[in-house]
Chain A
Amino acid sequence: MADAADPFMTAVEVRDAIAARTLTAREACERALARIDLLNPALHAFHHVDPERALARAAALDRAAAPAGPLHGVPIAIKDNISIRGMQTTAGSRILENYVPPFDATVIARLEAAGAVILGKTVLDEFAMGSSTENSAYGPARNPWAPDRIPGGSSGGSAVAVAAGMAPLALGSDTGGSIRQPAALCGVVGMKPTYGRVSRYGLIAFASSLDQIGPFARTVRDAALLLEVIGGHDVHDSTAAERHVPAFGQALSGDIRGVRVGVPRDLLEEGVDPDVRRAFDQSLRTLEELGATVQTVTLPYSRFAIPVYYLVATAEASSNLARYDGVRYGMRARAGTLGDMYDETRSAGFGAEVKRRIVLGTYVLSSGYYDAYYLKAQQVRTLIRRDFEQAFDQVDAIAVPTSPTPAFRIGERADDPLQMYLADIFTVSAPLAGLPAISVPCGFTSGRLPVGLQLTGRAWDEATLLRIGDAYEQATPWSKNHPT
């Protein structure tokens, strides 16, 4: 039995303690809020905390005659690009500084129906565009293992909240790695589900053929539980597939004998930090000791994944962000005419990275360049998908390090967007192919910075990834390590 005052209790432990009446939902919520009070000034995981709402919700759960659902009384942090009715939602941008959504995202409605207690909104790169949270208009979050370093991004605040014990669970969104990369750099579990597994209704759109909401947790079992709650068809999102959501928790048998794990060794030849490589190689040996087989696979077109991703994602972003015009919501610049108002609002409201991506995306969609860049990228995207289809004839999951390097220092890469983009090499392929991928902690560098192991699976087969991740977690000490 976990100590009920332990900030690193898992979601399952919190829920079970409440069910056993050794803890109340209100106490769990108060402890989370106290932890946030203690750590948020230094780590800036949360942009906005709503203690009144959370405590009222927890007290109502304590009064209920029966458990609301599988997350009864479990506190959770929400990335600030997911809409909550009545709670400010900025997407990390000045242009939405005072925006208060008039409706709940579907994932929020599902969380609350399952009994989760929402604590507040976490820091992200503006409109989820970035790998460090340095593009937040409200300042970056900080890595709890080394506060002078980035936590990763764009869902960095959610990763920090979970890693530092402010919440056992968090939601993020992943377009090119925005859940998995911060999970890896903060030493927690993060998963991008299959495209279409989770409704995006109420998620502020970045790149609509890539965006997917997914879980952060400190254990794979908790991530499985959270995915089960948020997954499934939604009449409000036509891309949320009419697929049965498996009971993911039941897939965690601990038995991975005979599972075939593929490693695209040619992608690992250069650019991977030696400590990251050492932790990754050791994780493969552990998987073999558990009875999995490890074999080499090739993904020849994955070396084009970065340029394809940045052409497709910026094109879609330039279209999605056209809606911020200062008319219906968000900030408005003072100007004499409508046209000037549009121009000045967007120029004052968007930060540098967002403007850069809008310009690039508008360019690749513009007349004369569409075929050469955008259409070409979509064709190479097809080839990247086919690589995975062929590899999955031979293996059940594909393993790479989630990030080629550990967390870098805040400011270190701020002046060179291309260098920042290149670090997404291992995370952009899965969303391009629509596939699920999980990052689980797999050790530390010599400087005590966390390293993540990424496993990519077949479409709709999150269960296999969770089963491998859970078996690996049980066999290694990493999930029991916490920042001090």
Chain B
Amino acid sequence: MPSTLTSADVLRIAELARLELSDAEVELFSRQITDILGYAEQVREVDTSGVSPTSHPLDVHAAWREDVPQPSLERATALANAPDANREAGLFKVPKVL
């Protein structure tokens, strides 16, 4: 398992995360994250056979409630923070997809 994150790795991961990084950021993150992963390597030496993962720190339980309709945000309120919207039609606007 490589513990070095190359510049190409950083670019690939940044694309998954929808981040456009500068060349300087790619170089810097490659070095810094390699350092961090190098430090984190010690975790992989711990014997965890038969140990269940903790995804939630305390007793996990499903919180059930009745499905009762409640008032939600008015459409105009929900659109108030939008960078671009057609407020009359009640729609968020985005640039063309293709």
Contacts of B57 in A (CB 8 A): 195, 209-210, 385, 431-434
CB distance from A390 to the nearest CB of B (A): 15
Contacts of A356 in B (CB 8 A): 29, 32-33
Assess whether B25 is in contact with A209, with CB atoms less than 8 Å apart: no
Assess whether A378 is in contact with B53, with CB atoms less than 8 Å apart: yes
B86 at the binding interface (Cβ < 8 Å)? no
Given A341-B94, A379-B52, are A418 and B36 also a contact pair (CB < 8 Å)? yes
Q: At the interface with chain B, which of A19-27, A246-254, A357-365, A465-473?
A: A357-365
What residue in chain A is nearest B16 (Cβ atoms)? A362
Given A346-B19, A376-B44, are A360 and B36 also a contact pair (CB < 8 Å)? yes
Assess whether B18 is in contact with A343, with CB atoms less than 8 Å apart: yes
Given A301-B46, A385-B54, are A373 and B33 also a contact pair (CB < 8 Å)? no
Q: CA separation between A195 and B54, bound complex, in Å?
A: 13
Within residues 172 to 198 of chain A, which ones have a CB less than 8 A from any CB in chain B?
194-196
Partner of B1, one of A210, A347, A372: A372
A60 at the binding interface (Cβ < 8 Å)? no
Q: CA separation between A459 and B43, bound complex, in Å?
A: 25
Contacts of A360 in B (CB 8 A): 33, 36-37
B8 at the binding interface (Cβ < 8 Å)? no
CB distance from A342 to the nearest CB of B (A): 5
What residue in chain B is nearest A460 (Cβ atoms)? B58
What residue in chain B is nearest A196 (Cβ atoms)? B58
Number of chain A residues whose Cβ lies closer than 8 Å to a Cβ of chain B? 74
CB distance from B80 to the nearest CB of A (A): 6
Assess whether B43 is in contact with A376, with CB atoms less than 8 Å apart: yes
CB distance from B16 to the nearest CB of A (A): 5
Partner of A327, one of B39, B43, B65, B94: B94
Within residues 11 to 49 of chain B, which ones have a CB less than 8 A from any CB in chain A?
13-14, 16-21, 25, 28-29, 32-33, 35-37, 39-40, 42-44, 46, 48
Q: CA separation between A363 and B18, bound complex, in Å?
A: 13
Within residues 75 to 98 of chain B, which ones have a CB less than 8 A from any CB in chain A?
77-78, 80-84, 92, 94-98
Assess whether A330 is in contact with B81, with CB atoms less than 8 Å apart: yes
Q: CA separation between A100 and B81, bound complex, in Å?
A: 7
Contacts of A45 in B (CB 8 A): none
Contacts of B5 in A (CB 8 A): 363
Partner of A383, one of B1, B46, B94: B46
Q: CA separation between A431 and B54, bound complex, in Å?
A: 12
Partner of A308, one of B16, B36, B43, B84: B43
A326 at the binding interface (Cβ < 8 Å)? yes
Q: Interface range on chain B: under 10, 10 to 19, 20 to 34, or 35 or more?
A: 35 or more
Partner of B13, one of A196, A363, A418: A363
Given A102-B81, A195-B58, are A355 and B29 also a contact pair (CB < 8 Å)? yes
CB distance from A238 to the nearest CB of B (A): 4
Q: CA separation between A63 and B65, bound complex, in Å?
A: 39
CB distance from A404 to the nearest CB of B (A): 16
Q: What 0/1 readout, one digit per residue, does chain A (397-418) give for beta carbons within 8 Å of chain B?
A: 0000000000000000000011
CB distance from A338 to the nearest CB of B (A): 5
What residue in chain A is nearest B14 (Cβ atoms)? A359
A366 at the binding interface (Cβ < 8 Å)? yes
CB distance from A175 to the nearest CB of B (A): 12
Assess whether A310 is in contact with B95, with CB atoms less than 8 Å apart: no
A335 at the binding interface (Cβ < 8 Å)? yes
Partner of B9, one of A331, A340, A343, A363: A363
A8 at the binding interface (Cβ < 8 Å)? no
A337 at the binding interface (Cβ < 8 Å)? yes
Q: CA separation between A284 and B86, bound complex, in Å?
A: 63
Assess whether A382 is in contact with B40, with CB atoms less than 8 Å apart: no
A392 at the binding interface (Cβ < 8 Å)? no
Contacts of B80 in A (CB 8 A): 100, 102
Assess whether B77 is in contact with A336, with CB atoms less than 8 Å apart: no
CB distance from B30 to the nearest CB of A (A): 9
Assess whether A359 is in contact with B51, with CB atoms less than 8 Å apart: no
Assess whether B46 is in contact with A434, with CB atoms less than 8 Å apart: no
Contacts of A98 in B (CB 8 A): 81
A127 at the binding interface (Cβ < 8 Å)? no
Assess whether A379 is in contact with B19, with CB atoms less than 8 Å apart: no
| Residues in A lying within 8 Å of B, measured CB to CB | 98-100, 102-103, 194-196, 209-210, 235, 238-239, 241, 301, 304, 306-308, 310-311, 318, 322, 325-332, 335-344, 346-347, 350, 352, 355-356, 358-360, 362-363, 366, 369, 372-373, 375-383, 385, 417-418, 421, 431-434, 459
29 cross-chain CB contacts under 8 A: A98-B81, A102-B80, A209-B54, A235-B65, A307-B39, A318-B17, A322-B18, A327-B94, A328-B78, A331-B83, A343-B18, A343-B19, A343-B20, A346-B17, A347-B19, A347-B20, A358-B19, A359-B13, A359-B33, A363-B13, A369-B1, A376-B46, A376-B48, A377-B43, A379-B46, A379-B53, A382-B53, A432-B57, A434-B57
Nearest 3 Cβ contacts at the A-B interface: A434-B57, A378-B53, A329-B81
17 additional contacts (CB under 8 A) given A209-B55, A304-B42, A421-B36: A209-B57, A304-B43, A308-B43, A310-B36, A325-B18, A329-B83, A336-B96, A338-B95, A340-B95, A355-B19, A355-B29, A360-B37, A366-B16, A369-B1, A373-B37, A380-B43, A380-B46
